[in-house]
Amino acid sequence: MLRSILLGLVAGSRAMTPLAAVANAARTGRLPRDSAAPPLLAHPLISAGTGGLALLELVGDKQDKAGDRIVTPAVVVRTLNAAFAGAMLAPRRRRLAAAAVAGTAAAAASYVSWRMRKTAMERHSQATTGLVEDAIVVPTAIAAATAR
């Protein structure tokens, strides 16, 4: 369940990163053996597509015109992506609980990470603060998706 929570926390900052990490782990056979991930998630096109979307989000986040992560549609997308990704890491019998905790963590982390980023941007640029955030969340998502 900890891995699902970690993916939820990541989704609070980067909506697509948890899904990309889980799809890549599925493609490379690094998901837990008892995970609930469907075989389609392991397809190379799914992995490439989610990875591409995650990369676009990483780049877009550094732009001055990037929208706030706490607008309602963004929080909904973060919550749903985290819930799905979190459920895919859990054993089948714990999918619903994993989805709930991942989604809840994502919604809460959206607001906390937004406030932290806004505070950091009082002293540093959007690009710099975004890169620091990326350096924390990307490895966290990969570790959560691939830990045995």
The string of pLDDT tens digits covering residues 67-114 is: 889 999 999 999 999 999 999 999 889 999 999 999 999 999 999 999
Q: Alpha-carbon distance 79 to 111, whole Å?
A: 12
What CA dihedral angle connects 6, 9, 15 and 21, to 10 degrees? -10
Give me the pLDDT at residue 92, please: 86
Helix axes 72-89, 95-120, angle to 10 degrees: 130
SS3 helix, strand, coil % of the chain, rounded to 5?
75, 0, 25
Six-digit token string for 7: 């993916």
Per-residue pLDDT tens digits for 9-18? 999 999 999 9
- pTM value is 0.92
Give the count of domains, the chain. Answer: 1
Domain that holds residue 110: 2-146
